[in-house]
Structure 1
Amino acid sequence: MFAFLSRDGGAACGLSVLGCTWAGTALVTLSGPVGQRSPAMAVFLLGVAPLMLLLCAAALPGKPLFGVLLLIGAGRFVLTGAYEAGGAATLQSAAGWVGVALAVFALYGGFALLLEDSLQRTVLPLGRRGRARTSLQGDLGHQLEQAEREAGVRRQL
């Protein structure tokens, strides 16, 4: 929600896809037989992974931390989807370890952003470039120079 409110369409889209994917995974897991593989889950996860890779490619130039987070998430979905489609049990273990790496990376990013917000300066490196960096290091004029052409400000999309 905060990404939408801050007019960051890329982050809003990426985080929405992740949230909906976890919700969909939970629903399929709860409704299916315990301990059984699910072809529906395989199709779902393998279908979401390319979308996450596209979002990763869009995020990497300005926000590499977010792009890498999406890349790791896509890797986890591919491994889990391949396991659910009938792959070897080692894929499930690998997906679990990639999930641990994803959690550690997300904790780092969340902690870095929390420190940045509370101290009003960058403490831990986030790798921002371009407009993402200017939005923090520039003045208000830098942030508003293109606002009149953004969706929600102009009359039509």
Structure 2
Amino acid sequence: MARPAACGLSVLGCAWAGNALVTRSGPPGQPGAGVAVFLLSVAPLMLLLSVAAIPGTPLFSVLLLVGACRFVLTGAYEAGGAALLRTAAGWTGVALAAFALYGGFALLLEDSAQHTVLPLGRRGRARTSLQGDLGHQRERAEREAGV
């Protein structure tokens, strides 16, 4: 997986954990400004990582884009927006969960079969590292950080 996609998915996972902590500290069932600020602050970072992931793994780019949209919708609702925003955020979350399930299942099948089973849309180095030989995987290794 390309580094921007991996970084973006890590940010997405940590954002969910941070969202849970911020939500837990607020009043139950009530929109909160703290949650709104948190979600609306994370969304631009996810958008940037989504753009960075396009060249290597467009599937993860779309996943991060949908996640950012959900955070914007939820943040807008938490900031005092209409209940329609909460509903839209919920349905966006359903789409995000289905998309993430597909991606996770595709990666699991790919890992066990050692080749692409379900399309992930890999391009460039992301595709070559999976489908190429060991030489393709090592060609830039000596220029990697820490090597």
Match of 1:92 in 2: 86
1:110 aligned partner, one-letter code? G
1:99 aligned partner, one-letter code? G
> Counterparts in 2 of 1:19-98, with a 5 A limit?
19-98=13-92
Q: Aligned to 2:97, which of 89, 98, 103?
A: 103
Q: CA RMSD in A?
A: 1.1
Cα distance in 1 for partners of 2:28, 2:141 equals 50
Q: Aligned to 2:126, which of 129, 132, 147?
A: 132
Greater than 4 Å deviation, 4+ residue runs? none
2:44 aligned partner, one-letter code? P
For structure 2, the 5+ residue unaligned runs are none
Q: 19-28 or 96-105: which moved more? A: 19-28
TM-score (norm 1): 0.90
Cα distance in 2 for partners of 1:96, 1:61 equals 29
Cα distance in 2 for partners of 1:84, 1:55 equals 24
Count of aligned residue pairs for this structure pair: 147
Q: Which protein has greater RCO, CA pairs closer than 8 Å, 6+ apart?
A: 2
Cα distance in 2 for partners of 1:23, 1:123 equals 31
1:31 aligned partner, one-letter code? S
Match of 1:9 in 2: 3
TM-score (norm 2): 0.96
Cα distance in 2 for partners of 1:127, 1:9 equals 15
For structure 1, the 5+ residue unaligned runs are none
